[in-house]
Amino acid sequence: MVLPTPCQAILVVIQQTDPAIVLEQMGTAFFHNGLAMVVKDRSVNATYPNTSLSKDESQQKFISDFTMIHALIDHVAHVLPALFLAKIGDRGWKKVPIVVSLFGSLQSSLMLLLVIHFHFPLEVMFGAAILSAMCGGLCSFWSSVMTLSLLSSTVANRSKAMVKLELLCGITNLVANLVSGHLFLLFSSSLGRGTFQLSLSTLLILLCLIHVIVLLQVNVIEREAEEGYQPVSDASTNAPAGMNKVNVLLVYAATMLYTFGHNGAESLLNTFLMKEPLNWNAIQLGYVSATGSVINITSFLGVVVFRRCVGEILLILIGMVSYASGIFLMSFVTTAYMFYLARTLNMFSLIPLPIIRILLSQQVPASSLVVTFTSLHISMKLASLAYVPAFTEIYQSTLSWFPGFIFTLSSIVTVLGMIPISIIRCRSHRRHQYERIPGN
Report pLDDT digits (tens) over 337-346.
Answer: 899 999 999 9
Residue 149 clears pLDDT 80, i.e. is over it: no
Comparison of pLDDT for 30 and 238, the residue scoring more: 30
267 lies in some domain: yes
Mean pLDDT of the chain: 78
Q: Is the pLDDT of residue 328 over 80?
A: yes
Q: Look up the CATH number of the domain holding residue 421.
A: 1.20.1250.20
Better pLDDT: 231 or 27: 27
Residue 399 main-chain phi, psi, to 5 deg: -55, -40
Give residue 225's pLDDT.
42
The pLDDT value given to residue 188: 62
In a domain, 5, yes or no: no
What average pLDDT does this structure show over 20-29? 88
Interval 195-214: pLDDT, tens? 888 899 999 999 999 988 88
Is residue 331 assigned to a domain? yes
Q: Report d(CA 156, CA 161) in Å as an integer.
A: 10
Identity of the amino acid at 166: E
For residues 309 and 315, give the distance between their C-alpha atoms in angstroms, rounded to a whole number.
10
Residue of higher predicted confidence among 60 and 265: 265
Query: Number of structural domains, the chain?
Result: 1
Residue 398: domain span: 11-46+53-220+231-439
DSSP string, 215-240: T-----PPPTTGGG--PPPPTTTT--
Residue 284 lies in a domain: yes
* 1 assigned to some structural domain: no
Residue 6 lies in a domain: no
* Confidence tier at 410 by pLDDT (50, 70, 90): very high
pLDDT at 127 over 80: yes
Give me the pLDDT at residue 327, please.
Answer: 94
* Rounded average pLDDT over 121-148: 84
Question: For residue 186, what pLDDT band results from cuts at 50, 70 and 90?
Answer: confident
Confidence tier at 155 by pLDDT (50, 70, 90): low
Residue 130 counted as domain residue? yes
User: Residue 187 and residue 189: Cα distance in Å, rounded?
Assistant: 6
- Inform me whether the pLDDT recorded for 43 exceeds 70: yes
What confidence tier does 236 reach under pLDDT thresholds 50, 70, 90? very low
Buried b (16+ CB within 10 A) or exposed e, 15-53: ebbbbbbbbbbbbbbbbbbbbbbbbbbbbeebeeeeeeb
**Higher-scoring residue by pLDDT: 88, 366:** 88
Average pLDDT over residues 303-309: 81
Q: Are 295 and 344 in contact (CB under 8 A)?
A: no
Spatial contact of 45 and 119, defined as CB atoms under 8 Å apart = no
Report residue 51's pLDDT band, with 50, 70 and 90 as the boundaries: low
**pLDDT over threshold 70, residue 122:** yes
Give the separation between CA 72 and CA 387, rounded to whole angstroms.
10
Select the highest-mean-pLDDT range: 45-54, 179-188, 236-245, 383-392.
Answer: 383-392
pLDDT band (50, 70, 90) for residue 141:
confident
- Where does the pLDDT of residue 110 fall: very low under 50, low under 70, confident under 90, or very high at 90 and above? very high
Res 67: pLDDT: 84
More confident residue, 306 or 373: 306
> Minimal CA–CA distance to 125: which of 141, 110, 142?
110
Higher pLDDT, residue 420 or 153: 420
Query: Does residue 326 carry a pLDDT above 90?
Result: yes
The pLDDT confidence band at residue 239, using thresholds 50, 70 and 90, is very low
pLDDT at 216: 79
Q: Above 90 in pLDDT, residue 384? A: no
Looking at the domain assignment, is residue 335 inside a domain?
yes
- The pLDDT, as a whole number, for residue 235 is 41
Asked if pLDDT for residue 325 goes beyond 90, the answer is: yes
Is residue 227 scored above 70 in pLDDT? no
d(CA 176, CA 197): 11
* Cα-to-chain-centroid distance, residue 248: 22
Give the per-residue pLDDT at 119.
Answer: 84
**Share of residues in the chain with pLDDT > 70 (%):** 76
21-40: average pLDDT: 88
Beta carbons of 322 and 348 less than 8 angstroms apart: yes
